[in-house]
Structure 1
């Protein structure tokens, strides 16, 4: 006999009605819709950058000194940099690296972080709990940016190593989150019932406890996308992330900072692009959090 978790039972209306109610709760928050719009727009521009960018060649090794440092105008909507490359086109391709950074880092940190949190929470008070959480506390004690900078400075500066550096310092946050949830859920009636019926520990941890942690995990992932992208842009700004001539947003901001304030558009527009991405994911995360909180009431 299978044991039903308290969050997986579907309403009488079925999955379609449940999704409809969830969307209704989400759509009532105007700022969440704005955040979703930003995220969808950025994703579209990143995926179809070669098709929608006015000058796709400008995203690579390209030089046009005849049009260098051109201010925003009809031909170049956001102007050009000191190499004559269209800033708008490079921003579209820069979205690719930003989203790649966020997606890859979360794909690397969420599975181990959640798994360790589940195991430590279920075995709360045992030596397993002590070992996992003390290691987690050690990583959490070091400021994330400082740890990422330290790792990147040892490795060869590039996008891949920046992803590895951020991943090594991001997993403890998921372990800590899930540990708190699992520590509470392990004493719930449905978990005790599964233990009484002889369910395996694997079944209890991943079939009974994990489904009830999904909502907070997804909410944190949407919020963390913004932080990971911002951290990746920070690493690129100091030369430890995306390397020229690739158009990383942080790299573009750093490259144009030497020409402020006369050629302000070289740094300002990539910085605004970072703001759009970060604000979009933050607003989306807030909307998901409110939606999941309303479903639990």
Structure 2
């Protein structure tokens, strides 16, 4: 009589590389379900590429510096100058490409400083809720949030010397309270969870509880807000340069280009329309990307529905 041998299931645990590959595939699937998120990612990568390789991609790199060419001033879009020239003969396309550097540097520096400060204050205030530390931090946060952000940035920039660095300082001062308020709400509720209480009972340090137990559970909303805030910071930076409180000539800046072109509307409309369109595209790209990151980090959802 023939005996059938049953196959023994493979109980070997997947390797770390396999788990990482599977996790990345799931994350990309959740991100790519929203086609606008993929478009946003393409826009953001394109903007970063143009900003890095601006001297090699732009048609007239010398037009990003001090240059006057009245023979070609005020030319409308053509095959030679795709987006036209400004009132002193500089190529609009070249100056838009070079202005992407300052536009990306602003949110990079602002969020690199504002996010750690806001997150730290939010963690401390939330974990020590009901104490003098909580009251001091949150009342200070309320004071900053009570002032309109753009008005506060304009006031700070007006006191300081107008340049890119001081405009970044002004925006940073007004931006950290939003992260403090966000993290405060999450950490004040997480402090009563069982895993935090268990860590306290076994004698874990406060630093361990704050940064190893509470902070990892706050990362998803923080990362999502950071992606969405990039567009807002770029818009604030453009507003500051529009009124002359950002980057100074001859360095190109999108807001400054819009301001310069507004004096020649509607005859030389391309001086204002194309830089404004660039601002809109960049902000839309980062907003679409933020929506995709939110979907990718969301939990409790069927990932392959």
TM-score, with normalisation over the residues of structure 1? 0.94
Aligned position for 2:107: 102
Aligned position for 2:73: 68
Whole-Å separation in 2 of the counterparts to 1:31 and 1:11: 32
Aligned equivalent of 2:61, options 40, 44, 56: 56
Q: Give ranges in structure 1 of 5+ residues lacking alignment.
A: 1-9
Whole-Å separation in 2 of the counterparts to 1:11 and 1:186: 31
Whole-Å separation in 1 of the counterparts to 2:299 and 2:34: 12
Whole-Å separation in 1 of the counterparts to 2:188 and 2:19: 31
Give CA-to-partner distance per residue, 1:166-205, whole Å, 9 cap, x none. Answer: 0011000000000011011111111111111100000000
Aligned equivalent of 2:42, options 37, 40, 52: 37
Aligned: 1:138 with 2:143: yes
Whole-Å separation in 1 of the counterparts to 2:301 and 2:230: 24
C-alpha contact 1:219 1:285 (8 A) present in aligned 2: yes
Aligned position for 2:33: 28
Whole-Å separation in 2 of the counterparts to 1:263 and 1:143: 34
CA RMSD, Structure 1 to Structure 2 (Å) = 1.5
Larger radius of gyration: 2
The runs of at least 4 aligned residues of structure 1 exceeding 3 Å deviation read: 10-13, 294-297
Cα shift at 1:294: 4.0
Aligned: 1:161 with 2:154: no
Cα shift at 1:13: 5.6
Give CA-to-partner distance per residue, 1:216-247, whole Å, 9 cap, x none. Answer: 11100000100000000000001111111111
Number of residue pairs matched?
288
Aligned: 1:266 with 2:266: no
Aligned position for 1:173: 178
Q: Give ranges in structure 2 of 5+ residues lacking alignment.
A: 1-14
The alpha-carbon distance between structure 1 residues 105 and 295, as it changes in their structure 2 partners (threshold 3 A), is farther
Whole-Å separation in 2 of the counterparts to 1:210 and 1:13: 27
Cα shift at 1:63: 1.1
Whole-Å separation in 2 of the counterparts to 1:169 and 1:200: 32
The alpha-carbon distance between structure 1 residues 295 and 73, as it changes in their structure 2 partners (threshold 3 A), is farther
Aligned: 1:84 with 2:89: yes
Cα shift at 1:15: 2.1
Aligned position for 1:4: none
Aligned position for 2:122: 117
Partner secondary structure for residue 75 of structure 1:
coil
Whole-Å separation in 1 of the counterparts to 2:49 and 2:299: 30
Give CA-to-partner distance per residue, 1:110-136, whole Å, 9 cap, x none. Answer: 111100000111101111100000000
Whole-Å separation in 2 of the counterparts to 1:56 and 1:218: 35
Whole-Å separation in 1 of the counterparts to 2:17 and 2:94: 49
Whole-Å separation in 1 of the counterparts to 2:166 and 2:269: 30
